[in-house]
Amino acid sequence: MDEELKRSMFEYYRQRASVYDEIYSGGGPASIPDPQAYCSEVGVLANIVKRLCSGDLLDIACGTAFWLPHYADKCNHITLLDQSKEMLVQANARAASAGAADRTSSMCADVLHHDFGDSRFDCVLVAFLMSHFSPEQEATFTDVLKSIAKPRGKILFLDTVWNNARALTRDKEGLQERTLPDGRQFQIYKKYFTEDDVSALSRALGIDLTTEHFGRVFFAASGVAGEGDKPPKRASCTSGSTPAVGPSDLGARQAPGRRH
C-alpha cells in the first residue's frame, strides 16, 4: 500500500473517532442496509469476546475500544493500541466508565512498525483491522502477531463477511471512498472475508483457527498460538459436513466451531 493511501486511512479514522461507533448499529458506512442485522450480530460477537478474552490482553487497533466492556472483567491488564490519538481518547474514556482505568494502558503506534520489545500477551484481540491490510501488510502483521502472543495465548479475529448482500454495494476488495458527516471524503483500502479467506489466514499464521461465528455481516475466528502444527480437530458442535447455507441473497452461515 502506498504511503499516501495509508496516510488517508489513518486520517480518516482520526477524524471518524467521535462517530465511529455508529457502524455497530448499522449507521455510518454500513454496507448492508439492515441495522437489525448489525445489532444482533454485535450481540453475538460480544458474547464470543466475553467467553474467549481474558488475562493480559492486547486490543490491537482498538479504535474506541467498543469491545472493552465485554472483556474488561476477565482481564488483569488491558493494553489499548491504535495509530489514532483521537480513537485512544474515546477508548480510555470507555475503560474509565467500565471501571478498568487502573488496569489499562494505551499506546499510540503503527502496529506494523512498533517495537513490542519483550511484551507478550495472553490474548490478542484483532477486530476489524485485517480487512484494511494489503496482502503485504497482512504478511508483516501475521509475523507481528506470532511474536507477541504468549505460547498458548489466544488470538481472536472479528471482521466483515463477503456475501451476495455485501456485493450489492461493495467490491470484495479494493479502494473505497468514505465520507465523514461533514462531507469530507477519504480513500481507504478494505476487503471482506469468505470462509476460504479465513482458512487462508489460518494457514498464513500457522495456527488452526476456529470459526466461532460466520454471519451475514460479521465473523469471529479464534486460535491458540503455538498449536499450528497440530492436526486439525473436528468441530464438536456441527452436525454434519454440509454447511447450513442461508438464503442465496445473503450467503450467511451460522455454523460455529468449524476448524480451518
Ligand X SMILES: C[S@@+](CC[C@H](N)C(=O)[O-])C[C@H]1O[C@@H](n2cnc3c(N)ncnc32)[C@H](O)[C@@H]1O
Which residues make up the interface to ligand X (CB under 6 A)? 13, 61-63, 66-67, 82-84, 87, 110-112, 127-129, 132
Residue (132 or 170) nearer to ligand X, CB: 132
Closest CA to 132 of 207, 183, 57, 60: 60
Q: Which of 60, 89, 59, 52 is nearest to 77 (CA)?
A: 59
CA distances from 122 to 67, 134, 149, 205, 228 (A): 17, 27, 6, 17, 17
Cβ proximity to ligand X, 22 vs 246, nearer residue: 22
C-alpha cell at 252: 450467511
CB of 34 to ligand X, least distance (A): 19
CB 74 to ligand X: min, Å? 18
Closer residue to ligand X (CB): 112 or 167: 112
Residue whose C-alpha is closest to residue 192's, from 222, 169, 171, 213: 171
12: its cell numbers: 480518516
Sign of CA dihedral 109, 160, 185, 181: negative
Closest separation in Å from C-beta 49 to ligand X? 10
Interior angle at CA 113, CA 16 and CA 80, nearest 5: 50
Of 75 and 255, which has the nearer Cβ to ligand X?
Answer: 75
Minimum distance, C-beta of residue 141 to ligand X, in the bound complex (Å):
8
| Shortest distance in whole angstroms from residue 62 CB to ligand X | 5
SS3 category, 204: helix
What is the smallest separation between the CB atom of 247 and ligand X, expressed in angstroms?
Answer: 27
**Beta strands 55-60 and 218-224, pairing class:** unpaired
Which of residues 89 and 235 has its CB atom nearest to ligand X in the complex?
89
* Residue 53 or 87 with smaller CB distance to ligand X: 87
Distance CA 201, CA 208 (A): 9
